[in-house]
Amino acid sequence: MDYADKEEFLKEFGEDYGYPNGPKSIDQIRATEFKRLENGTVYLDHAGATLYSELQMEAIFRDFTTNVYGNPHSQSDISLATCDIVRAAREQVLDYFNASMKDYKCIFTSGATAALKLVGEAFPWSHQSSYMYTMENHNSVLGIREYALSQGAAAFAIDVEEAVDNDGLSEGLVTSTKISLHPIQRRKGASFPERDPAGDAYNLFAFPSECNFSGSRFNLDLVNIMKKNPERILEISPFSKGRWMVLIDAAKGCVTQPPDLSKYPVDFVVMSFYKIFGYPTGLGALIMRNDAAKLLKNTYFSGGTVAASIADIDFVKRRQGVEELFEDGSASFLSIASIRHGFNLINSLTVPAICRHIASLGMYVRKVLLSLRHENGADVCTIYATYTSEVSYHDTGSMVSFNLKRPDGSWFGYREVEKLASLSGIQLRTGCFCNPGACAKYLGLSHSDLLSNIEAGHVCWDDNDIIHGKPTGAIRVSFGYMSTFEDAKKFIDFIRNSFVSFPNKSANGNLSRGGSSHFSPEGMERWLSVSKYVIKFITVYPIKSCAGFSVERWPLCSTGLLHDREWLLKSQTGEILTQKKVPEMCLISTYIDLNQEILVVKSPRCRDELPINLKPDSYNGGIDEIDLYGQRYEVLGYADEVNLWFSKAIGRPCSLLQCFSPKFRVCLNKRGDTVMCRDLESRLNFTNEAQFLLVSEESVSDLNSKLSSNTRKGIDGVTVKVNPMRFRPNLVVSGGEPYAEDRWRNLKIGNNCFTSLGGCNRCQMINFTHKDGQVQKSKEPLATLASYRRLKGKILFGILLRYDITELDTDSYLEVGQEVHVNPE
């Protein structure tokens, strides 16, 4: 690490970074409580879930192994003691929000989402009610809208301007707060009934204390405005009438700035504990004002929520305590007992110190990202946030959300960034972060854009990161109380090295980030002068994602090599299985005897090999249809004994299917556009994109030279060296310069002609190896390939080929040693 960079950082942020006045420095915290990060992992998704401390978990383990806890719904001594622990935990939660027990109650839930659902279900909605929420809200908050609309209430989103919290005490901010209303939504009736002049309707306003998309914080003065003088914001709108209640989603914001409920009389606050100190998961809380609790109605009753009930008549007497009334069933008392250990840790550092520490890292990353420029002077990074010039860096939040641009102004896809970050040991978050309103607002996506993206097949967590030239989401890095400058620096270095365009130093094999291949003139001249390439290896992979077998000579057919990728494995749920999800598939070896017409499979997990007859009379599973990569296939199934063998081989239930015929020869998405499959003119078996994959020995040799000079180490600390079979090629050729195949357009092998469909996009499957019957995974060679073979979000190695068949010749073969004649671009 460059120590000068850290010195500069400490000059600006040294008073706040690293807990200078705390019981431990940040370096001591990392060394004693987060040893599991010493493997080089950089965790930057604390807004999703922060990490638990190892000392915290040791304290919990000691607690659980020295004390006995029982169900609080019992009268035994142990159960009564457990009740005391739960009661103390409620007080600790209220203390965290500076809430008086006289005014508030703490209800434990399974998480912040469950707390929000409870409010939505139990709120006294009517046709005169309104549900108002800010555009920047988590889906779990938007979901309350369903309860409101189903009861005839109105629902509408708003944008809040100039509502960033400076110090929480500003008196002049009230007059500057403005809102703009989005369209009113109603599900029952087209007209809006007159408001009750008595103002008996109950309305709910929901907003986050901190936006989990941008990190922007909302001014908590909104609470007092909406509760005391809603007309100040809603003006003459009919929705200003009635009684307004306020809900704050503090799941993200309470980590560094929990709402002070002694100053802001919020009716409902929701939170999750794993966001604050990592463990326990599956536990949250609803902090609710006592007067608000009286208005909520919990329809369902369960053990713990009733004082008495009669089974065969309509009679139930509910408990009167707020906690007892809304906590259905037995509380998660062991999880509740563990939160005091988390709070002890946070209190030892103090929330203000944690806030300052985290903010210093966020501001540092934000400043560096904004300063990055490509070689042509174009900005590299667009950051999504709304801050006023008066906001100090302490109030800019713990996260940075952004997207990256190429020198020509086009966008890098966020999935490309996430995949490359993972290869570098950096864990971050991409997408919309379950906050569609903020995502659309900051990315400038209109309703037509959003609907068009959905029509194109885009859904949450897919790989459609760029549609019609626009990002569909963003990249987010977020920091926790244990994050370090070194974490931030490694992330910045990753962005610089992977996405910033510097003056090119051309070298054979490099692919420019701007979108075109480039070779040194000397290398290109040598490449063009070479005329002899020969086939060194031919490999057939009968079963998709399983091992193949090498041959000296093999027949061609309309789908490529005969029987190549003709079979696949399908799970009981209908999922097509590959090594990406079932790495053990690589342990299944295959061989086809054309004379005997059998496919033989072996596995170290199965005692006997399995011969499978290729003749039609061997099928006992009937004909079915499946979809694969947008293409529909008719498939043939096999008898139970075959499926049981494969289930044992991969350790999960599955069935073997054989391609009978593809019903369509093109790959279509929901809009009818061709997608994924680049080979649209020929028949395909169960291949991803094309009939053949070709790699060259020279390209593999060049990759190995880069791996040997690389500081990255592979499994067991041994320098990684790969052979061509790591890439699962059908054809391995030798001759010429490394990566000469990038420029091939057509090939002729014997009397057979082929067309290049371009480079093969590599995935993490090439990082899998097997040793002694075990599958092992490293970051290589994909990480090294990503450093010099990346083009428009793809990591290319090898080329895809289509067999240009005219009239099928039954004597068409490929043979090791044949010359390959190429026609370059």
Could you tell me if 107 and 293 are in contact, meaning their C-beta atoms sit under 8 angstroms apart? no
CA R_g for the chain: 31
Cβ-proximal residues to 723 (8 Å cutoff; 6+ apart), any chain? 700
Residue from 133, 246, 249 nearest 185 by CA:
133
Cβ-proximal residues to 130 (8 Å cutoff; 6+ apart), any chain? 148, 153, 154, 155, 156, 201, 203, 204, 239, 242
Catalytic residue positions? 434
The pLDDT value recorded for residue 714 is: 46
Check whether the bond before 604 is cis (ω within 30° of 0): no
Q: Please report which helix (H) or strand (E) contains residue 160, including its range.
A: strand 154-161
For 321-340, what is the HEC assignment? CHHHHHCCCCCCHHHHHHHH
Q: What does pTM read for this prediction?
A: 0.83
Q: In whole angstroms, what is the distance from residue 391 CA to residue 386 CA?
A: 10
Residue from 393, 389, 439 nearest 414 by CA:
439
How many CA atoms lie within 13 Å of 275's alpha carbon, on the beta-carbon side?
25
The pLDDT value recorded for residue 107 is: 96
Q: In whole angstroms, what is the distance from residue 661 CA to residue 623 CA?
A: 11
Find where tokens 């909406």 sit: 226
Q: In whole angstroms, what is the distance from residue 603 CA to residue 598 CA?
A: 17
Could you tell me if 380 and 405 are in contact, meaning their C-beta atoms sit under 8 angstroms apart? yes
CA angle 707, 712, 715 (to 5 degrees): 95
Cβ-proximal residues to 218 (8 Å cutoff; 6+ apart), any chain? 134, 160, 163, 164, 165, 207, 208, 209, 210, 211
Cβ-proximal residues to 244 (8 Å cutoff; 6+ apart), any chain? 203, 204, 205, 226, 227, 230
What separation in angstroms does the CA of 38 have from each of 30, 89, 426, 491, 767? 9, 33, 13, 16, 22
Could you tell me if 666 and 677 are in contact, meaning their C-beta atoms sit under 8 angstroms apart? yes
Q: In whole angstroms, what is the distance from residue 774 CA to residue 762 CA?
A: 22
Residue 138: burial class (beta carbons within 10 Å; 0-12, 13-18, 19+)? buried
Residue from 163, 118, 174 nearest 298 by CA:
118
Q: In whole angstroms, what is the distance from residue 294 CA to residue 442 CA?
A: 39
The pLDDT value recorded for residue 307 is: 82
Could you tell me if 218 and 134 are in contact, meaning their C-beta atoms sit under 8 angstroms apart? yes
Residue from 189, 219, 194, 193 nearest 207 by CA:
219
What separation in angstroms does the CA of 290 have from each of 101, 102, 113, 208, 225? 9, 8, 21, 21, 20
The pLDDT value recorded for residue 492 is: 97
Query: What distance lies between CA 170 and its chain's CA centroid?
Result: 38
Cβ-proximal residues to 29 (8 Å cutoff; 6+ apart), any chain? 19, 53, 481, 482
Could you tell me if 285 and 109 are in contact, meaning their C-beta atoms sit under 8 angstroms apart? yes
Q: In whole angstroms, what is the distance from residue 289 CA to residue 724 CA?
A: 66
Indicate if the alpha-carbon torsion angle 467, 468, 471, 473 is positive or negative. negative
Label residue 33 left, alpha or beta by phi (over 0 means left) and psi (-120 to 50 means alpha). alpha
Q: In whole angstroms, what is the distance from residue 307 CA to residue 404 CA?
A: 59
> What are the average pLDDT values for consecutive 10-residue runs of the chain, which has 825 residues?
86 95 95 94 96 97 95 89 95 97 96 96 94 96 96 93 51 62 79 51 95 92 89 74 93 95 97 97 96 91 83 88 85 95 97 96 96 96 73 63 95 92 94 93 89 80 85 96 97 95 64 41 44 91 95 93 94 90 92 94 94 73 69 84 95 91 46 44 74 96 90 55 94 95 94 94 86 78 91 91 76 92 85
Beta bridge partners of 249: 208, 270
What's the distance, Cα to Cα, between the start and end of the chain in Å? 44
Could you tell me if 387 and 215 are in contact, meaning their C-beta atoms sit under 8 angstroms apart? no
Could you tell me if 309 and 315 are in contact, meaning their C-beta atoms sit under 8 angstroms apart? yes
Q: In whole angstroms, what is the distance from residue 351 CA to residue 515 CA?
A: 47
The backbone torsions φ and ψ at residue 239, rounded to the nearest 5 degrees and listed phi first, read -80, -5
Could you tell me if 579 and 545 are in contact, meaning their C-beta atoms sit under 8 angstroms apart? yes
Q: In whole angstroms, what is the distance from residue 154 CA to residue 187 CA?
A: 8
The pLDDT value recorded for residue 808 is: 54
Beta bridge partners of 550: 539
Q: In whole angstroms, what is the distance from residue 800 CA to residue 785 CA?
A: 17
The pLDDT value recorded for residue 89 is: 97
Task: Kindly provide the b/e burial profile for residues 167-195, where b requires at least 16 CB atoms within 10 angstroms of the residue's own CB.
Answer: ebeeeebeeebebeeeeeebeeeeeeeeb
Residue from 343, 341, 169, 347 nearest 263 by CA:
169
Q: Please report which helix (H) or strand (E) contains residue 470, including its range.
A: strand 470-471
Could you tell me if 252 and 267 are in contact, meaning their C-beta atoms sit under 8 angstroms apart? no
